[in-house]
């Protein structure tokens, strides 16, 4: 029986990456390498105001003084930062006003990926901002949203049209000198999405950005800034894919969320960057800084992530709970297969009184992969009556993979309660036996057990995404359960 | 012969190395080659790593640099004390008959009485054993100690002269526990180094109780390293009761290597002491071995207790349990770092780890990082960590039954740590520790029944 199980696990974990095609589209790039001129050039190409250039230069100078951190449970081959193209954009014909003007190749790309860029697909009810090689190519539903006062546009447009908002909030949650990769991103980021939800507005649809790396030898550095003003609500989705290449590509993004009083932001990611082939060649290095600031009283930020792609994933979507009664949530499924590596988790920093946080992390490792959960729960002395619960489970689907848990808990006052629990195990033979006995084939049983295992997290995803995520999980694990 | 060497305010590593280099003959004297030969590497390793500080991931919550500030006496040779401790000093455990051994400032006390031991068993000074049984000692000495990875172990290996040596040959069961009373007593601030080596042979059994005490109001830093080898089918119990005054720093490193089907229990109770750091590394290096590692710490004032454990499952079918509980009051701080590492192919491993903490005051602080590193798939591993306060409902329940708030709190705290004490496999010792803990919570002096000495940490403050 063990053999059938292995066989099925192999089937389940050896699915092919579906999004590995390359789009033949003219791309505007600048020369390889990084120096102050490159930073200036990027800023100039984007026609940015002075404060943005200053922000970039400060970040670049800081970055030069920093060293790449080495504490993660990851084996990262050295990265040559001079061998990366820091700016790549699909060549623009002119300002785009309607969808007809978008390059049909580009539309094709996003259609292949199943992203409803065309507005007739109103049914899907999701407003999409598509980002290819770090430049936003098209944002849908802009006008509908504008009626409510919601700003959903590319970062470059935001810099031009809403400089005050950008100036006020850029770097508030993730300062330019926060860490090595955030500093790099702050210096060279090319585009991203910008969202502002005005006071008292409940965003009527899910907002979504679709990220695509297309050009070779480039790094993708996008930056997302979400601001939810008092008593507003928004649910935001993010998806990503990249072509299959033998070289590794760096993706160092920054996501900043700021939630003001009574505001709620729900951020969902389905990360499916190219993970490299079965021998571990190629794939994306996904080194991302994501942080939400619960600035206002009773604000709430919730991160949900399904991580199936990338050769190396290294990120910790975090919540800084400043406002009293604010709430932070983190739901994660991280799947690693073949030679993938992941060191991911979250930080919950309790600063305000009565703040609450919840962490649910489910790791699945297969093949020769290494999957780590690393998290910090910190309660400062004045964060009275804070509450945290963390649950981190790992499922091992092969005897050559690893699952690791590194939680850090720091509590500085007596009225807070912090709980953490973690388990590591494989799919039990008894569980499979139970299913077999009831006429369920081993294959279905394994799929069922995995889907049950991740359910708590998948349930947090918006409907369309949940279906997508389920499928993705099956593909990622195809051929590896046992 | 010079009995002590004084340091010149060694706030920096150079002062320790300088002390060693200018007195090298004293440190080499009387030790066999296998102890002296490793000092060179230990020196390099120590210089490279320096005194552990919070920059070191393994010492993230304990900065030892302030501990090493000041002038200290070190003891490269045995200093006879004018008092006969044995006749006066008795940390007795009622209803428990034990063999009693003393060490003073890291050295085996030369007036220790001869013990009535089964044939072949050696319990005595490490320095002496190294001279008399060099092959035996050399076979084990330092084999588990990775000086390159641990500055305290490097420092101990650099300065080690003496300590306790225990050798239990195969097939011998010693029922009577061995009680080792580690005393610190000096006229000046002192830094002591103690090196212990225990070997428990196949099918043998041994129980060791360590009691750490300070007898003078000086600042003490003791750097104790214990290497333990537990052979096939052997059973070993190791109980540590740490009761030094709050100006002292008690630094302990324990390395245990277990062979197949062996069984150990470690139980550490940190009652008093300014800075306490317990490093414990257990290597399960044979199938069906079992390790049970427990600890409690009760802290107040500005005490700091840091328990660091690392359990390596190198072979399949082993079991490990870890349970650490801390109660922190006043401005005390605590830390726990536990790691379970299941090596590749160590299938059918069962490993548990739990850390529970109660904060009693607004200024107390606890940092904990329980970790799992799992490289095999057919395993059952879990860990849990909690930080909380006394359950208000339980408190109400007791109050409703006419128990005063203070008493109710004491009862609940006592019950909280009793779970750990209840694991102790020697019943009278369990009762004695319960009593010590109860008195510790009440802030009462706990003097051993027949003892003439006042080693109470509070009175020495």
Structure confidence by residue, pLDDT tens digits, A245-301:
677 788 899 999 999 999 999 999 888 888 888 888 888 899 999 999 999 999 999
Query: Closest residue of A to B329, CA-based?
Result: A414
The predicted structure's pLDDT at residue A25:
65
Chain B positions in Cβ-Cβ contact with residue A396 (cut-off 8 Å): 374, 376-377, 379
A to B CB pairs, distance under 8 Å = 116
Reported confidence tier of residue A71, pLDDT bands at 50, 70, 90: confident
Is residue A303 scored above 70 in pLDDT? yes
Query: Closest residue of B to A412, CA-based?
Result: B365
Mutate to test the interface with B, among A366, A405, A407 (most CBs of B within 10 A): A405
Mean pLDDT of all residues in chain A?
A: 83
Say how far apart CA A102 and CA A99 lie, in whole Å: 5
Reported confidence tier of residue B15, pLDDT bands at 50, 70, 90: confident
Cβ distance A421 to B347 less than 8 Å, yes or no, reads no
Going from N- to C-terminal start, the domains of chain B cover 5-389
Q: Which of A21-25, A349-353, B108-112 has the lowest mean pLDDT?
A: A21-25
- Sequence-distant (6+) residues with CB within 8 A of A67 are A180
Mutate to test the interface with A, among B313, B332, B356, B387 (most CBs of A within 10 A): B387
Mutate to test the interface with B, among A372, A404, A406, A428 (most CBs of B within 10 A): A404
Query: Closest residue of A to B338, CA-based?
Result: A406
The predicted structure's pLDDT at residue B453:
66
Provide the β-strand partners of residue A214: none
Chain A positions in Cβ-Cβ contact with residue B54 (cut-off 8 Å): none
> For B77-96, how does the pLDDT look when each residue is reduced to its tens digit (9 = 90+)?
888 877 777 777 776 677 78
Say how far apart CA B380 and CA B376 lie, in whole Å: 10
Is residue A84 scored above 60 in pLDDT? yes
Chain A positions in Cβ-Cβ contact with residue B364 (cut-off 8 Å): 414
Reported confidence tier of residue A209, pLDDT bands at 50, 70, 90: confident
Is residue A368 scored above 60 in pLDDT? yes
* Minimal Cβ distance to A424: which of B362, B366, B381: B381
Query: Closest residue of A to B358, CA-based?
Result: A414
Reported confidence tier of residue A93, pLDDT bands at 50, 70, 90: very low
Rounded mean pLDDT of A89-113? Answer: 57
Contact in structure between A188 and A223 (CB atoms under 8 Å): no
User: Could you give the count of Cα atoms lying within 13 Å of B336 in the half-sphere of its Cβ?
Assistant: 31
Rounded mean pLDDT of B154-168? Answer: 95
The CA–CA distances, whole Å, from A138 to A99, A103, B77, B326 equal 8, 11, 80, 57
> For A381-408, how does the pLDDT look when each residue is reduced to its tens digit (9 = 90+)?
999 999 999 999 999 988 889 999 999 9
The predicted structure's pLDDT at residue A155:
87
Q: How far is A240 from chain B (nearest CA, A)?
A: 30
3-state DSSP assignment of residue B214? strand
Cβ distance B369 to A424 less than 8 Å, yes or no, reads no
Q: How far is B372 from chain A (nearest CA, A)?
A: 5
Mutate to test the interface with B, among A350, A414, A421, A427 (most CBs of B within 10 A): A414
- CB proximity B389 to A under 8 Å: yes
Cβ distance B378 to A400 less than 8 Å, yes or no, reads no
The predicted structure's pLDDT at residue A139:
63
Reported confidence tier of residue A146, pLDDT bands at 50, 70, 90: confident
Helix (H) and strand (E) counts in chain B: 11, 21
User: Could you give the count of Cα atoms lying within 13 Å of B377 in the half-sphere of its Cβ?
Assistant: 24
- Nearest to A448, CA basis, from A468, A425, A473: A473
Cβ distance A421 to B359 less than 8 Å, yes or no, reads no
- CB proximity B86 to A under 8 Å: no
Contact in structure between A196 and A159 (CB atoms under 8 Å): no
Is residue B10 scored above 70 in pLDDT? no
Comparison of pLDDT for B44 and A46, the residue scoring more? B44
Cβ distance A404 to B369 less than 8 Å, yes or no, reads no
CB atoms within 10 A of CB A257: 34
Burial of A24 (0-12, 13-18, 19+ CB in 10 A): exposed
- CB proximity B69 to A under 8 Å: no
Q: How far is A357 from chain B (nearest CA, A)?
A: 14
Chain A positions in Cβ-Cβ contact with residue B384 (cut-off 8 Å): 419-422
Burial of B293 (0-12, 13-18, 19+ CB in 10 A): buried
The predicted structure's pLDDT at residue B412:
93
Cβ distance A421 to B382 less than 8 Å, yes or no, reads yes
The predicted structure's pLDDT at residue A18:
65
The predicted structure's pLDDT at residue A213:
67
Chain A positions in Cβ-Cβ contact with residue B57 (cut-off 8 Å): 71
Cβ distance A411 to B371 less than 8 Å, yes or no, reads no
Mutate to test the interface with B, among A389, A398, A408 (most CBs of B within 10 A): A408
Cβ distance B362 to A401 less than 8 Å, yes or no, reads no
Chain B positions in Cβ-Cβ contact with residue A417 (cut-off 8 Å): 386-389
Is residue A3 scored above 60 in pLDDT? no
- CB proximity B383 to A under 8 Å: yes
* Minimal Cβ distance to B365: which of A399, A401, A411: A411
Is residue B2 scored above 50 in pLDDT? no
Cβ distance B369 to A381 less than 8 Å, yes or no, reads no
> For B206-239, how does the pLDDT look when each residue is reduced to its tens digit (9 = 90+)?
999 999 998 888 899 999 999 999 999 999 999 9
Mean pLDDT of all residues in chain B?
A: 90
3-state secondary structure B354-401: EEEEEECCCCCEEEEEEEEEECCCCEEEEEEEEEECCCHHHHHHHHHC
Reported confidence tier of residue B443, pLDDT bands at 50, 70, 90: confident
Cβ distance A414 to B364 less than 8 Å, yes or no, reads yes
The predicted structure's pLDDT at residue B455:
66
Contact in structure between B323 and B294 (CB atoms under 8 Å): yes
Chain A positions in Cβ-Cβ contact with residue B378 (cut-off 8 Å): 399, 426
The predicted structure's pLDDT at residue B71:
83
Cβ distance B386 to A418 less than 8 Å, yes or no, reads yes
Chain A positions in Cβ-Cβ contact with residue B368 (cut-off 8 Å): 408-410
Chain B positions in Cβ-Cβ contact with residue A411 (cut-off 8 Å): 357, 359, 365-367, 387
Chain B positions in Cβ-Cβ contact with residue A407 (cut-off 8 Å): 369-371, 385
- CB proximity B380 to A under 8 Å: yes
Backbone angles phi, psi at A129, to 5 degrees: -115, 120
Query: Closest residue of A to B371, CA-based?
Result: A406
Rounded mean pLDDT of B409-422? Answer: 93
The predicted structure's pLDDT at residue A119:
42
Query: Closest residue of B to A380, CA-based?
Result: B365
> For B300-349, how does the pLDDT look when each residue is reduced to its tens digit (9 = 90+)?
889 999 999 999 999 999 999 999 999 999 999 999 999 999 999 999 99
The predicted structure's pLDDT at residue A97:
47
């Amino acid at each position: 029986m063990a053999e059938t199980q292995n066989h099925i696990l192999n089937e389940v974990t050896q699915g092919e990456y579906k999004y590995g095609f390359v789009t033949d589209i003219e791309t505007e790039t600048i020369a390889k390498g990084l120096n102050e001129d490159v930073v200036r050039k990027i800023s100039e190409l984007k026609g940015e105001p002075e404060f943005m250039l200053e922000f970039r230069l400060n970040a670049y100078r800081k970055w030069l003084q920093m060293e790449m951190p080495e504490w993660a449970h990851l084996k990262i081959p050295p990265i040559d930062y001079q061998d990366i193209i820091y700016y790549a954009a699909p060549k623009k014909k002119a300002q785009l006003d309607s969808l007809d003007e978008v390059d049909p190749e580009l539309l094709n790309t996003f259609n292949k990926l199943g992203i409803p860029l065309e507005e007739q697909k109103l049914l899907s009810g999701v407003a999409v901002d598509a980002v290819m090689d770090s430049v936003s190519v098209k944002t849908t539903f802009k006008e509908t949203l504008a009626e409510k006062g919601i700003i959903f546009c590319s970062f470059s447009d935001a810099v031009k049209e809403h400089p005050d908002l950008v100036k006020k909030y850029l770097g508030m949650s993730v300062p330019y000198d926060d860490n090595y990769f955030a500093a790099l991103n702050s210096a060279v980021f090319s585009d991203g999405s910008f969202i502002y939800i005005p006071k008292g507005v409940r965003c009527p649809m899910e907002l979504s950005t679709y990220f695509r790396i297309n050009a070779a030898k480039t790094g993708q550095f996008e930056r997302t800034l979400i601001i939810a003003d008092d008593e507003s609500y928004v649910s935001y989705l993010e998806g990503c894919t990249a072509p299959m290449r033998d070289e590794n590509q760096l993706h160092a993004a920054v996501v900043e969320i700021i939630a003001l009083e009574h505001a709620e932001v729900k951020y969902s990611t389905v990360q499916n960057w190219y993970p490299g082939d079965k021998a571990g060649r190629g794939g994306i290095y996904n080194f991302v800084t994501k942080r939400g600031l619960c600035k206002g009283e009773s604000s709430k930020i919730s991160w949900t992530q399904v991580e199936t792609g990338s050769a190396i994933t290294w990120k910790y979507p975090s919540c800084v709970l400043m406002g009293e009664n604010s709430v932070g949530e983190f739901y994660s499924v991280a799947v690693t297969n073949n030679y993938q590596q992941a060191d991911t988790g979250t930080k919950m920093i309790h600063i305000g009184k009565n703040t609450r946080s919840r962490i649910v992390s489910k790791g699945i490792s297969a093949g020769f992969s290494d999957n780590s959960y690393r998290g910090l729960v910190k309660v400062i002395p004045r964060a009275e009556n804070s509450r945290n619960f963390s649950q981190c489970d790992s499922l091992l689907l092969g005897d050559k993979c690893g699952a690791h848990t590194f939680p850090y808990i720091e509590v500085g006052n007596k009225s807070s309660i912090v709980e953490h629990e973690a388990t590591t195990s494989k799919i039990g033979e008894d569980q499979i036996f139970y299913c077999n006995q009831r006429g369920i084939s081993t294959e279905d049983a394994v799929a069922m057990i995995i889907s049950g295992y991740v359910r708590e997290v998948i349930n947090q995803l918006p409907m369309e995404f949940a279906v997508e995520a389920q499928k993705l999980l099956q593909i990622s694990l195809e051929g590896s359960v046992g | 012969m010079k009995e002590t060497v004084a340091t010149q305010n060694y706030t920096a590593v150079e002062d320790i190395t300088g002390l060693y280099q200018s007195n090298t003959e004293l440190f080499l004297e009387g030790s066999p080659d296998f102890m002296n030969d490793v000092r060179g590497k230990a020196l390099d390793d120590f210089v490279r790593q320096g005194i552990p500080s919070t920059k070191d991931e393994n010492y993230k919550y304990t900065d030892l640099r302030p501990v090493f500030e000041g002038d200290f006496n070190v003891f490269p040779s045995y200093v006879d004390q004018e008092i006969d401790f044995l006749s006066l000093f008795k940390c007795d455990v009622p209803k428990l008959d034990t063999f009693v051994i003393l060490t003073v400032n890291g050295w085996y006390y030369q007036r220790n009485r001869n013990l009535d031991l089964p044939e072949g068993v050696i319990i005595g000074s490490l320095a002496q054993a190294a001279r008399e049984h060099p092959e035996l000692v050399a076979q084990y000495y330092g084999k588990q100690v990775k000086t390159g990875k641990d500055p305290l172990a490097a420092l101990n290996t650099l300065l080690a002269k003496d300590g306790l040596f225990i050798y239990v040959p195969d097939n011998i069961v010693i029922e009577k526990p061995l009680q080792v009373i580690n005393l610190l007593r000096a006229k000046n601030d002192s830094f002591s180094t103690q090196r212990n080596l225990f070997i428990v042979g196949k099918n043998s059994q041994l129980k060791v109780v360590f009691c750490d005490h300070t007898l003078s109001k000086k600042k003490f830093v003791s750097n104790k390293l214990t290497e333990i080898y537990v052979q096939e089918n052997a059973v070993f119990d190791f109980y540590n009761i740490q009761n030094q005054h709050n100006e002292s720093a008690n630094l302990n490193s324990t390395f245990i290597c277990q062979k197949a089907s062996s069984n150990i229990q470690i139980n550490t109770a940190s009652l008093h002491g300014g800075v306490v750091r317990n490093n414990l590394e257990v290597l399960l290096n044979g199938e069906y071995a079992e390790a049970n590692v427990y600890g409690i710490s009760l802290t107040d004032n500005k005490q700091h207790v840091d328990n660091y454990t690392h359990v390596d499952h190198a072979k399949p079918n082993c079991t490990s349990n870890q349970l650490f509980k801390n109660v922190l009051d006043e401005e005390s701080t605590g830390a726990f770092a536990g790691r379970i590492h299941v090596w590749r192919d160590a299938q059918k491993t069962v490993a548990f780890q739990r850390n529970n903490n109660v904060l009693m005051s607004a200024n107390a602080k606890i940092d904990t990082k329980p970790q799992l590193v799992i490289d095999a798939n057919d395993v059952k591993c879990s860990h849990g960590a909690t930080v909380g306060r006394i359950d208000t409902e339980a408190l109400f329940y007791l109050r409703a039954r006419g128990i005063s708030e203070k008493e109710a709190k004491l009862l609940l705290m006592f019950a909280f740590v009793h779970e750990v004490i209840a694991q102790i496999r020697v019943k009278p010792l369990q009762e004695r520790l319960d009593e010590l803990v109860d008195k510790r919570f009440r802030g009462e002096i706990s003097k051993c029944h027949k003892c003439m000495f006042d080693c109470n940490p509070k009175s020495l403050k």
